């Protein structure tokens, strides 16, 4: 499994956990012996906290994905440069060998 898949999987687990916790807390509040106003205020507070946490986790996951993408992109560009240099060196060596062989045939 790639690092990107693990990051996405972890983000899904965290978001699912937070959503479950928010729903469970909301249900607990609904069944608690409090006034309607108190319950609504607690639910609003819990919802705001959950939304903030989910946004933070989403930002973190996005940052990790961007970082992983950039690292992969840099590695590809580095390998591409190495391969291009090797191909160019091979072409030069082939031209020198052709010249050497043609000089031998002339002599």
pLDDT confidence tier of residue 35, bands split at 50, 70 and 90: confident
Q: Give the global pTM.
A: 0.46
d(CA 103, CA 107): 6
pLDDT of 40-97, one tens digit each?
A: 888 788 888 888 888 888 888 888 888 888 888 888 999 999 999 999 999 998 999 8
Q: Any residues with CB less than 8 A from the CB of 84 and at least 6 apart, and which? A: none
The torsion region of residue 32 among left (phi > 0), alpha (psi -120 to 50) and beta comes to beta
d(CA 28, CA 52): 21
């Amino acid at each position: 499994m790639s690092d990107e898949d693990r990051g996405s999987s972890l983000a899904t687990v965290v978001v699912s956990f937070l959503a479950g916790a928010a729903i469970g807390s909301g249900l607990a509040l609904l069944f608690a012996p409090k006034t309607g106003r108190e319950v609504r205020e607690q639910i609003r507070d819990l919802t705001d906290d959950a939304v903030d946490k989910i946004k933070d986790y989403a930002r973190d996951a996005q940052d990790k994905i961007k970082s992983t993408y950039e690292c992969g992109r840099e590695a590809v560009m580095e390998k591409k440069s190495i391969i291009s240099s090797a191909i160019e060196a091979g072409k030069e060596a082939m031209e020198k060998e052709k010249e050497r062989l043609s000089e031998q045939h002339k002599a």
